[in-house]
Structure 1
């Protein structure tokens, strides 16, 4: 069972790579990662000498739970509000004589507490009605909600009008300290504890299980992180600074990559600020209840006015107009001091909402005024119950962030100390200077991981988990793999057998050596590859920010124009392709590259590569003059790349990195120049390209992934050195490739393209009866490619250039784009079984080309919120 918990942390990546798909025990995974009931998670630390009362509020006649019921005390100040399931919980240090329950549309109920009262009460409220003499009204409809002449809406419009004035926008430099703690626990049914095979394997965990925090559930703490950071924020954010003063984590450090999981948890537990236009939750965006568009999508109700404080405070409840929309429910406190500012807010999700992984969510944010009268976040708490499918087990986490020593004004004299990272790795004693005390659940997370580290059963499990998650089997300082590339096949090599390995951190923190050999049973050719990376930093080879040099040498096959960023080209699952796939290049290559990344996520690469291309299969280098076939082509090329990814996040592994899309753009500029005669180079040319990626959120209408790219080649070159556009002949749907274009079908020496992939997040399907229970999401895309080949690079104009590619019958299969762009689009459904996306893809232009598919069905594994 613990193995499935670790697998959860690995597959939370935006899309599972092909080389891992067949390794996941999905049936067992779905059982483990599910969550049990939809309860709101309360985060108050337990204290001694308190009275705790909890219960559920229901409609007396329908027996349905009533959300947003205001609960106050008789005789003393204080109170709370019920959650979306009608559940409430109260902790006070005084004796409670009675409770008062009030909600819009219901009669107020005064409930008297007896001395022997049970701590769990069931409350039933009656609908309010007006009795008329001699008239009986049956089945009367509730009045329709309207914004016009609504006091709650008038109040929220004033809040919206004053939002920018009240929001802390850092008109001058602000310096503050921030403390964060994040605790993750396995959430299981309390009744399962005696029969749990997981707890039987690790009985010491049973002693730390918390059965009081959530009724009927047991929380087994497994992860704990604390971080103290000093931050500086400026109005234009040019001089922003962030220094980690100290950090402490519960870490395994035994093959399982906690740094990658740590970064993904940062992506899930994002900053929550009601003053933003929308609020992030994983990869989704939710419209804030005080955004300018909010009154068109939310309903507002004045739940209570607190009059025992000065000035009075209004408790304003809000909920979506349509419960299926990606919007919050909750309440906010608004002091009636003329500023129309929100002093605190509680947010939670409706159970009908179409969002994956999150079975339960609640966030509470408290604001304080600075000396300029603007509001900043003083403390926020976010709790989530995470699971892929509904069932018995899930992950329950609480993240608390508190702000201290908030200073506004002239802070030029402030000195930022040097960072202290991961203190828990270096020392056993707990010297972390935390401003907030830890609960027993949080303290036990540290104890449990320390005990797991020395468990023989856990060590054996970690070895298996490393193989499942990475495709590599660790043998001392060597990792053997990836196992999904040991066997594959294609039309040129036939059956391809491969054996490869790499060094790991046990070998060195500064050196990485990888290599392998492969053999094709059809072409009877041996291939090989070897690479060495040296890091100038002691923290690790691939740890951000990189500062390393790489040397590689290889003799391999490749599909011209294809770039597999995250998986091996000889992955077994990529062996299955549609249409004709009989053209390959044997590439003999050696290269060197220096990589440097900056803290501001600006990076550059400079290097040199020498490549010799030999055609294979149905590919030939035939001069247009009719001269004999050219056996090979050699290029000698200097390369460079400049990349800027502001506020970039990525899932960082020990030997890999995968980006997390967070709404910020990524700019990549590449430039290379080849020199004829230098170390055997046959051609001189320059290659330039610019790629821009941006995820655009359009709350509440989903989001679009937009890719814009353009490039050009300066110089006279044969077709293998042109820009060969990325085609996809597999049956998977690939975002950055053209899914109905054939390999090497289009080539250009100048081009521009735009790809738009949009998800509506179930905006329409969530409103259709029965269909909405499937929680499907609408997706559609459009891809447009402009390009062309200049006259000097066309073989009909130069007999020394190679003829374009033909099939076995001599029919041309490679072309230059004309005035008409290549266009394809798709419509589809995602979130099928929470794992699958299926698209109907249609090609709209160049339908007269040979061997093309005009339409098709494509699928891909896609895990997302």
Structure 2
């Protein structure tokens, strides 16, 4: 099952914690911290568990006592003027004594000059920004390293109400009372996933290129597979690659202000606490707190090297008041080390790279009674090579694991544990989590929940080599078909890793007609994504609302089949196509096909428009064509999900699509024509100002054609808000033979509402949009349209045209994140307010709603 299903399953399986909690063991570690040379006690030394945020300090006589609910396998002690020291401890013993003898570091601190009236931390932070070009990893021309990643996901925070759930009771019956793991706060956890991954990561700065070779994974989890897509999502540095030298840190689709970014003074209060030893570096310890808790900022502390003013270590957490959904808490811990320039003939220092990263997120649902989830990612980097870039073609690879990535090899993992992962490799607690996961996967009720989660998230039910669905198309009710039922399928990698079959059958109770579609694809290459296929379809479509025109918006396309079916037509389509990606980011497509148009609404066009009303009239036509398309998506990332390629989007780079279509009578069509189309879309992150997304589209045909073969603009008169459409335009109100359309949407996040007392507690977010359309129709194409009454006296449908000097305009504004789910937006149509074509009444204003799950 695909890992995306896990997100839904987390909310379907609440927990097995209905059993009475057994008495929680309390662990106590005591000891003495002394000077190794003199034997004198060292007061106020920091004592902490390695890998956790639990610690204490020694008293005036050097004694310490650490009491926690869970132990790791080692303890670390540090004190100013001494080298830090780690000692192994037994994580299973309730009580133990461990003494530490620290050696003097012999390091002198750099003098710090503080001006009267100035916060002493400011001087350090100014030096951090001044020396950024020396210390930031971005100064490196290239780097690569081995990366070990451990990911753990578990359910937590279960209320009494949840324990009455029937699914929980069945899980309780299958689980032993001894199956118990607790977090740092004493909450019992239900492990759902435990994974380890080893990869080699490569980066080149100019031109910017990345590559990641996933060498080995071992994954155990509920609702995830053991390799494939899981290896790509959970193995690698995608989740924990934050660079705090950047002004803003992207997390969960939001931009958090960095405490050492250019705007540090505007967002944070700082306190210079102390100097301390971090590895081989003496560091300033600086604490930071947000000026406004509702902003997207951090709370924590950073350690800055006193010599180079580089960031050595940082611990951050997101406050509970931040405008972020479904997050109880999130922490990021990084340790960085200076690197050695591998290209230099002599040993020379280079920028700093993270050697250890730990991200912990405690998530929750909607409401105080919702369950919780803890996700933890731990990363270790080693074997670093700096400033030795590979040829550009070396980086032109998708993130795809090898065929043996999940093959069991205990000797390999034993080596990883001793050389790369160290103490972060699977501990006794992790092994126990794997045992619980194995038991959980055997519970019948969990298997049912997995199937439900799979259908709800992907739209398909996996049955061996077949995926049955998608479910949004299963039922529809409209004025033409009555009750429409549809069943479809596609094959997956269990059927074949190269051959892909798709198909569906639909039936309408009112028109008593069967519809169908079928497709056969052959996948030649995954690395350069080369695929060829042939498809046929005989179905009812709606003018301007084909899947091609609406960009694959599955939900909107499904809803368009409900209600009054204006603009419906019967279409029989045949097409062959070939796609290939010769260079990463450039996808080329060629296609050859034909399609019929047989309208179910009153429509006629002039076969010989130069004859005016004396021309023969027709309603149907056959369109035969060939087309070529180029899609440019710089920096786009993909994951391979069996035979499907899933895009992760681009990082602030536009996605540009260009297509040329040639209609041909020689291929059996009724028209010769040329059509040019362009489409560009992009999202800008503007830091505290929010995010702006635009979609620009344009089209031009110099040919004389019936209106349906031109550019019917996508309207949306339904109450459902749909972005990238004109929400106050009718379905086929306007048609153009040349046009430019722009859809701009800006999310202010919490920029305004966070500063309004009484409103900021709701975590609402302001959103605004502008939609504009410039279009026109030539006199020749206007002459093709006929208004001559039909033989039965019915007036034919007439498509409106825009004034080329006056754009169609819509503006909207609204509130997003109501109950963390609902968006309500007001839409104003600014012009073309007279009665629309075909006497459809117009209303310039509408309130629309949509539902979106986002952080």
Q: What is the TM-score normalised by the length of structure 2? A: 0.78
Q: Distance in 2 between matches of 1:344 and 1:274?
A: 10
Q: Which of the numbers 257, 269, 286 marks the counterpart of 1:299?
A: 269
- Secondary structure in structure 2 of the residue aligned to 1:816: coil
Change (3 A) 1:225 1:506: same
Change (3 A) 1:324 1:239: closer
Alignment of 1:24-423 (within 5 A): 32=14, 50-51=29-30, 75=43, 77-78=45-46, 89-90=54-55, 97=63, 149-189=118-158, 198=168, 200-201=170-171, 206=176, 209=179, 211-238=181-208, 240-250=210-220, 259=229, 263=233, 269-306=239-276, 312-337=282-307, 339-371=308-340, 372-389=349-366, 390-410=368-388, 421=402, 423=404
| Shift of residue 814, structure 1, vs aligned partner | 1.9
Q: Which of the numbers 767, 772, 792 marks the counterpart of 1:784?
A: 772
Q: Which residue of 1 aligns with 2:826?
A: 840
1:752 aligns with 2:752: no
Q: Distance in 1 between matches of 2:833 and 2:236?
A: 46
Does the CA contact (< 8 Å) of 1:199 and 1:206 recur in 2?
no
Alignment of 1:7-26 (within 5 A): 9-10=7-8
Q: What is the TM-score normalised by the length of structure 1? A: 0.77
Q: Distance in 2 between matches of 1:208 and 1:598?
A: 55
Q: Which has the higher contact order (CA 8 A, sep 6+)?
A: 1
- Secondary structure in structure 2 of the residue aligned to 1:220: strand
Does the CA contact (< 8 Å) of 2:579 and 2:587 recur in 1?
yes
Aligned residues: CA RMSD = 4.3
| Shift of residue 779, structure 1, vs aligned partner | 0.7
Q: Which residue of 1 aligns with 2:811?
A: 825
1:861 aligns with 2:827: no
Q: Distance in 2 between matches of 1:838 and 1:174?
A: 47
Q: Distance in 2 between matches of 1:193 and 1:858?
A: 34
Deviations 1:601-620 (A, max 9, x none): 43222211111111112444
Does the CA contact (< 8 Å) of 2:141 and 2:389 recur in 1?
no
- Secondary structure in structure 1 of the residue aligned to 2:243: coil
Q: Distance in 2 between matches of 1:10 and 1:312?
A: 46
- Secondary structure in structure 1 of the residue aligned to 2:148: strand
Does the CA contact (< 8 Å) of 1:838 and 1:858 recur in 2?
yes
| Shift of residue 385, structure 1, vs aligned partner | 0.9
Q: Which residue of 2 aligns with 1:550?
A: 533
Q: Distance in 1 between matches of 2:490 and 2:265?
A: 57
Q: Which residue of 2 aligns with 1:500?
A: 488
- Secondary structure in structure 2 of the residue aligned to 1:228: strand
- Secondary structure in structure 1 of the residue aligned to 2:708: helix
Alignment of 1:715-730 (within 5 A): 715-730=703-718
Does the CA contact (< 8 Å) of 1:248 and 1:422 recur in 2?
no
Q: Which of the numbers 574, 581, 591 marks the counterpart of 1:607?
A: 591
| Shift of residue 822, structure 1, vs aligned partner | 1.3
Q: Distance in 2 between matches of 1:617 and 1:598?
A: 44
Q: Which of the numbers 653, 661, 673 marks the counterpart of 2:661?
A: 673
| Shift of residue 430, structure 1, vs aligned partner | 6.8
Deviations 1:11-43 (A, max 9, x none): 99xxxxxxxxxxxxxxx76x959x9xxxxxxxx
Change (3 A) 1:155 1:167: same
Structure 1 gap segments, 5+ residues each = 13-27, 36-45, 54-72, 82-86, 101-117, 120-145, 538-542
Does the CA contact (< 8 Å) of 1:643 and 1:669 recur in 2?
yes
Alignment of 1:481-496 (within 5 A): 481-496=469-484
Change (3 A) 1:292 1:179: same
Count residues in correspondence: 757
Deviations 1:130-158 (A, max 9, x none): xxxxxxxxxxxxxxxx9972222232222
Does the CA contact (< 8 Å) of 1:271 and 1:280 recur in 2?
no
- Secondary structure in structure 1 of the residue aligned to 2:682: strand
| Shift of residue 478, structure 1, vs aligned partner | 4.2
Q: Distance in 2 between matches of 1:860 and 1:179?
A: 41
- Secondary structure in structure 2 of the residue aligned to 1:272: coil
Q: Distance in 2 between matches of 1:634 and 1:784?
A: 32
Does the CA contact (< 8 Å) of 1:826 and 1:842 recur in 2?
yes
Structure 2 gap segments, 5+ residues each = 18-24, 33-40, 67-93, 96-114, 341-348
| Shift of residue 307, structure 1, vs aligned partner | 7.8
| Shift of residue 761, structure 1, vs aligned partner | 1.1
Change (3 A) 1:52 1:322: farther
Alignment of 1:334-733 (within 5 A): 334-337=304-307, 339-371=308-340, 372-389=349-366, 390-410=368-388, 421=402, 423=404, 425-427=406-408, 431-432=412-413, 433-434=415-416, 435-436=420-421, 437-475=425-463, 477-536=465-524, 546-562=529-545, 563-566=549-552, 573-576=559-562, 581-597=565-581, 600-622=584-606, 624=609, 625-626=612-613, 627-649=615-637, 659-660=647-648, 663-733=651-721
Deviations 1:543-579 (A, max 9, x none): 78643222111111212222344455896644456xx
Change (3 A) 1:190 1:357: closer
Does the CA contact (< 8 Å) of 1:246 and 1:423 recur in 2?
yes
| Shift of residue 495, structure 1, vs aligned partner | 3.3
